[in-house]
Amino acid sequence: MVQKDDNLKDIISHSKEYGFVFPSSEIYDGLAATYDYGQLGVELKNNIKEYWWKAMVHMHENIVGVDSAIFMHPTTWKASGHVDAFNDPLIDNKDSKKRYRADVLLEEFVEKIRQKIQKEVEKGKKRFGDDFDEEQFLATNPNVLRNQKKIEETEERMRAALESSDLEAIYNLIVDLEIVCPVSGSKNWTEVRQFNLMFSTELGSVAGDAATIYLRPETAQGIFVNFLNVQKTGRMKIPFGIAQIGKAFRNEIVARQFIFRMREFEQMEMQFFVRPGDEMKWYDYWKEQRINWHKALGLGEDRYRFHDHMKLAHYANAACDIEYDFPMGFKELEGIHSRTDFDLKQHEEHSGKKLQYFDPELNESYVPYVVETSIGLDRMFLAVLSSSYKMEDLGDGKQRALLSIPPALAPYKVAIMPLTKKDGLPEKAREIMDAMKLDLNCIYDEKGAAGRRYRIQDAMGTPYCVMVDHQTLEDNTVTIRDRDTMEQERVNVDDLHQIIGDKVAMHKLLTS
């Protein structure tokens, strides 16, 4: 069986080899945790954005989009709480000199115990076969019960320490649990300190005249400060939402695991403004909508789970993550947060401007409550790549690298290939491509043996290959080869556009 870490390494090298993701400024040996998207990567990224935008904005009459500036007035971040509270607790190991997020060390400790319980369950299943009663096993097995107790006790102490930002208590917990540095194996830790994650820079060119401004750590604040602009000019009625896709920046203490945790990344966020008191109804609604959006892609239903937040962010009264089974295990892919009226009220206070909505049905004005959905585009990209990438055995010791990306998201929808470079086949192939490229992203390939060309397209994730051969010139038919099944069907050129267009359409995802 392929180990998960090896799988991540394979995905990283495949991404580079085929132009999905490159280390940033690689000719200068790269910049830690910063990546560039290549020729196929940018197409996949754009398609994910389109899927999200269509599902959130175009499919909802009461949601509209914005594209706000990355730089915002510095008071924005004072009001939002980021200047004072957007911190991570960090701890250094004195022997390895490695720096860690203290809360992540603790979470990983708990996850390891969970995996121990899962192993016990697997052992039980093997031993008792069909007679195995998982529920009873979990409720009675002494090893499971001991580990479960340890999880509960640890989580309880974690919650108390994190919620009160008690750095000493976090340190004591790490020491009591005898957590070791994964690199040096030692327990020689520094104290826990707070570290603000915002990048700052200066606006203005005159010395002494400059103001400190921040690179936004989330796109959401660009939505909040435009709440009234959009509500009034768009004549929006509550409940309504504002969506945005854009870059965000965080000076992460530990930025690693490829594009999972970067210092510059992209978010797709939506703030849904509701009547105070209605927020839990809409929180449940968006949890369901978002998990359905993910599942429609067919990456595997059992690869998702909800995880309720133990430590609520300074603005939330309920929050959960949609976690995805990445090559590194289950990790946060998307957050759904009930943010109360915190942000709008804070902006009212700091700006001195009213940010209220007059509700004609209630005949009163109020500051709306907000339910937010926030997904990392780069993490979504990694989820798609990691579930799609496989090395498939073809028999006779042969293998193929396959990216079974959902067709609607695939960088190229179709590869057009003449069987040979002569006899008028390239001209016919080009004619077919010219007719299709207006709607579908096509790639032309006439180089090398057909089998080899198919393999390259499989590795790029192109769902369909169209082969133009000598029969095409006689009866105007071509073969369509399916990436996943490798089966071929012969169809008339006049129907080709429609057939492939249907197979790769986003409609199916949006209506499923």
**Residues interacting with ligand GAP, by CB under 6 A?**
218, 220, 250, 252, 261-262, 265, 267, 269, 332-335, 372, 374-376, 378-379
Our CB check for ligand GAP shows the closer of 262 and 318 to be 262
Our CB check for ligand GAP shows the closer of 35 and 389 to be 35
CA–CA separation, 307 vs 300, rounded Å?
18
Least separation in angstroms between residue 140's CB and ligand GAP is 37
Least separation in angstroms between residue 30's CB and ligand GAP is 17
Our CB check for ligand GAP shows the closer of 334 and 469 to be 334
If 0-12 CB within 10 Å is exposed, 13-18 middle and 19+ buried, where does residue 282 land? buried
**Hey, is 401 helix, strand or coil?**
strand
Buried b / exposed e over 19-30, threshold 16 CB at 10 Å, is bbbebbeeeeee
CA–CA separation, 436 vs 416, rounded Å?
10
Our CB check for ligand GAP shows the closer of 120 and 252 to be 252
Structure tokens at 201: 């820079």
**Hey, is 15 helix, strand or coil?**
helix
Local structure of residue 238 (DSSP, 8 states) = S
Least separation in angstroms between residue 154's CB and ligand GAP is 22
Least separation in angstroms between residue 383's CB and ligand GAP is 10
Closest by Cα among 268, 272, 283 to 317: 283
Quick check: 408 and 34 in contact, CB under 8 A? no
Our CB check for ligand GAP shows the closer of 263 and 503 to be 263
Phi, psi of 55 (to 5 degrees): -65, -40
**Hey, is 451 helix, strand or coil?**
helix
Least separation in angstroms between residue 238's CB and ligand GAP is 20
Our CB check for ligand GAP shows the closer of 324 and 412 to be 324
Least separation in angstroms between residue 260's CB and ligand GAP is 6
Half-sphere exposure of 217 toward its Cβ, with a 13 Å CA cutoff? 21
Least separation in angstroms between residue 271's CB and ligand GAP is 9
CA–CA separation, 306 vs 293, rounded Å?
14
**Residue showing the smallest CB distance to ligand GAP in the complex:** 376
Our CB check for ligand GAP shows the closer of 45 and 261 to be 261
Our CB check for ligand GAP shows the closer of 321 and 445 to be 321
Least separation in angstroms between residue 51's CB and ligand GAP is 16
How far does the chain reach from its first CA to its final CA, in angstroms? 33
CA–CA separation, 293 vs 57, rounded Å?
13
